[in-house]
Structure 1
Amino acid sequence: MSEFHGSASPPFPRQPDRTPPPPTRTTGLRQRLAELRGPEVAARALDARALAALAANPGCRRRAILDGAGVHKATLASALGSPSAFGQSQFALTRGNAFEAKVKADGGAELLRLAHRVLAPGSEPPQDAAVPDLTAAGPEGRTARTALALREAAGAPGTWTLLDHPMLALDVAGSPAFLEPDAVVVHPDGSWSVVEIKSFPMLDGSADPAKVGAAARQAAVYVLALEEVAARLETSPRVRHHVLLVCPKDFSNQPTASAVDVRRQRAVTRRQLARLTRLDEIADALPEGLCLSPELPAEQLTEAVDAIPAAYAPECLSACELAFHCRARARADDAVTSLGRSVRAELGALTTVTEVLAAARGETGDPDDPAVAALRRAARLRAQALGRTEAAVCR
């Protein structure tokens, strides 16, 4: 039998180190966002509509962290006692789904015909178009499957390819957002086009400008995500900046389409997304143990929501479910943000309505401050106008 002496090592194999690796910053952020959302509360996916609204107000940390954590803002607003009227009705959703199914029937033959007529009239008409299967497990799997289908389509020029509800990923404030456009068309020349299918009508070849603008902002997000995929391919396919907008024609249910140039919306959205504060920075600044579960008492939930900085503007009323709550808080705090971004920008260091009125009356403020000088001049002109009106009434 062998003996061991001194510091000699025994001839036994070294046991593997079973100590779990330290959590990465990404893992820590996901856990923090899950805690913020609430125990056993399913995350709500961040879609392109919400992402476009977030990009339109990049200074709002409240919306950024809530969207990043997947908080259902409509449920949260109801729990706060400020239910929102923002969002589509069930009837509109049902009508939109039925119209989309009609457009994509028969393997998307009608959709491809519209894409050929509107976006590429000089190319070969679609006949035996490819419609790849994008089924996969989870959003990461679907994103990878979509990227593979796009790579294969780009490597097979001369044919049309229709991707029905592909999954795209876009980095938003340091966290991936998974986006699902209605469709993406790969042209015979290998270029890619985003397809937006909407249920609002197109009358005499034109639609409601406000609705078209909203659709363009949403499509611009998809274009940015597609450009991320194209940049990773060796062939670097071209992502077209004209998207295909498909709507019902006049008062019928027959589809028609037009090309919408989203270059301006794409540039604005890209710039605004770059200005977003990273989610890990926002999360690190929040109180420890902060939770936004709708099951919490209203007072505790209100205190938790108000602990996250917000940047309210009247435009939020048409884009965010928490707008009514944030507006009430802005008014209670006497904040000038409730008057609009343009007014807030003109007032400089004056952040409350009380400060603005005091500066206009000459009670506070530096006379050399352009904002203060403009307020006092406006107050004098108002007083003169009211004085003349009263004198005319007396006579």
Structure 2
Amino acid sequence: MPPPGKRGTALRIGASPARAKSRVWGRLAELRGPGVPARALDARALAALAANPGCRRRAILDGAGVDKAALAGALGAPSAFGQSQFAFMRGNAFEARVKADGGAELLRLVHQKLDPAAEPPQEPHVPDLAAAGPEGRTARTALALREAATAGGWTLLDHPMLALEVAGSPAFLEPDAVVVHPDGSWTVVEIKSFPMLDGAADPAKVGAAARQAAVYVLALEEVAGRLDPAPRVRHHVLLVCPKDFSNLPAASAVDVRKQRAVTARQLTRLTRIQDIVDTLPDGVCFSPELPAEELTAAVETVPATYAPECLAACELAFHCRARSRADGAVTTLGRSVRAELGGLTTVDDVLAAAHGEAGDPEDPAVAALRRAAALRAEALASAGQEAVPCH
């Protein structure tokens, strides 16, 4: 009989893969709570998860489909992370304008920015991608891509559905559009509502869009790899934004090769969801309906890897930051500081090493801290001030 909290290990040893997978999905449903539907894992969440692959907490919450915004509110640390209703409506209106008339303007921008040598888009094919459920839509998208790759001419896939395996679980992704060129190659199109002023947009927002598009490129490469011959997935995506302060579309070609490589490498480092489930005690549940104390204890059963960058990407960032500060973790100060300090993981450890109370003098981090403390004391002494201990 397996020890408490280790049921999945026995399943992997003695049961069939299909049965073990079914039990894992059942366990994930238990983690969400009775009758709570799973929240879809989108490309934005995947890009954020890939940026922090060591965070098991986010991996299991996203893998189980937990509503992290509702969870953060129930924990008493609500986050303003997300898009306002006004911005959401404005984005939908702009996307509808860009795709009007069968995507004529969108295809014109793709032709102008990415494939000017090809024939101009005339009477493009816009296949119907409707199907039952995400699996059905994924299969219908794959069929449409296969047909378009050999048909010639321009094809616009409006909100196709792609699948990408992440940490042993499938994630269904829905890009704004995918364009098939006359040569059979595929391009991802990202439509955003932030403005492009004088031909340039906010670099931080462009970077976030590029990381999101890189996830779609990876998913498209999975589809292309199953075809013979495999179509080329272009690593330049088209970013479409409002021009200046108008509602007219402007576009820019964005090279996502770097983001694609980083995302692919980070996703392979993610711990499999099943492996994380195996470590959880029986009865753990992340339902926001639970009492705050019980919910906090459940969340703390899964280790987090907090960094200041989480504030821009995760709904639980304020909760994890408070816990990190309470524990005195140096990661609260940023990943670069954490990397410089080596084996010193808490602020107390750092101060003790700086004051000569702990630490190996041969450790470069300890030596640097003691040198910095000595310089600080020397500077204060020369200024006639009394050295105040660091806190």
What is the match of residue 353 of structure 2?
359
Which of the residues 159, 164, 168 maps onto 2:162?
168
Aligned to 2:128: 133
**1:83 matched to 2:78:** yes
Match of 2:25 among 30, 34, 44: 30
Q: Is it true that 1:257 corresponds to 2:251 in the alignment?
A: yes
Q: Does 1:54 align with 2:41?
A: no
SS at match of 1:366: coil
Structure 1: which 5+ residue stretches go unaligned? 1-20
Task: Give the superposition deviation at 1:391.
Answer: 5.9
Q: 1:14 aligns to what? A: none
From 269, 280, 287, the counterpart of 2:281:
287
Q: Measure how far apart 1:381 and its partner are.
A: 1.2
Does 1:330 pair with 2:336? no
- Aligned-partner SS, 1:201: coil
Matches within 5 A, 1:1-395: 24-157=19-152, 159-390=153-384
Deviation of the 1:371 alpha carbon: 1.1
Q: CA deviation at 1:23?
A: 5.5
Find the residue that maps to 2:178 and give its secondary structure. strand
Tell me, in whole angstroms, the C-alpha distance in 1 between the residues paired with 2:342 and 2:134. Answer: 44
| Cα distance, 1:24 vs structure 2 | 1.8
Query: Deviation digits for residues 157-198 of structure 1, max 9, x if unmatched?
Result: 2x1000000000001000000000000000000000000000
Could you tell me which residue of structure 1 aligns to residue 8 of structure 2?
A: none
Distance 1:22 1:211, change over 3 A: closer
- Displacement, 1:388? 2.2
- Secondary structure in structure 2 of the residue aligned to 1:245: strand
Figure out how many residues of one structure are paired with residues of the other and give that number.
Answer: 371
Amino acid at match of 1:381: L
Could you report, residue by residue, the CA deviation over 1:283-313 in whole angstroms, capped at 9, with x for unpaired residues?
0011111100000000000000011110000
Q: Which amino acid aligns with 2:123?
A: D
* TM-score, length of structure 1 as denominator length: 0.92
Distance 1:66 1:360 in 2: 38
Separation of aligned partners in 2, 1:105 and 1:75? 36
1:68, 1:289 → 2: CA distance? 18
The residue matched to 1:163 in structure 2 has which SS? strand
How big is the shift at 1:22? Answer: 9.0
1:15 corresponds to which residue?
Answer: none
Whole-angstrom CA distance in 2 between matches of 1:246 and 1:346: 40
**1:390–1:173 Cα change, 3 Å:** same
Distance 1:390 1:216 in 2: 53
After superposition, give the CA deviation of every residue in 1:340-387 in whole Å (9 maximum; x if it has no partner): 111111111111111110110001111111111111011111111222
Q: Distance in 2 between matches of 1:308 and 1:214?
A: 27
SS in 2 for 1:390: coil
- Name stretches of at least 5 consecutive residues in structure 2 with no aligned partner: 1-15, 387-391
Q: Determine helix, strand or coil for the equivalent of 2:66.
A: coil
Q: 1:114, CA displacement in angstroms?
A: 0.7
**Deviation (angstroms), 1:273:** 0.3
Give the match's secondary structure for 1:190.
coil
Structure 2 counterpart SS, 1:155: helix
Counterpart-to-counterpart distance in 2, 1:383 and 1:204: 51
Q: Which has the larger radius of gyration?
A: 1
Percent identity (aligned): 80
What SS class does the counterpart of residue 160 from structure 2 fall into?
A: coil
Tell me what 1:7 maps to: none
Find the counterpart in structure 2 of residue 10 from structure 1: none
SS at match of 2:254: strand
DSSP-derived class of the 2:231 partner: coil
Question: 2:292 is aligned with what amino acid?
Answer: A
Structure 2 Cα separation of the partners of residues 318 and 54 of structure 1: 12
* Distance of 2:271 and 2:159 partners within structure 1: 30
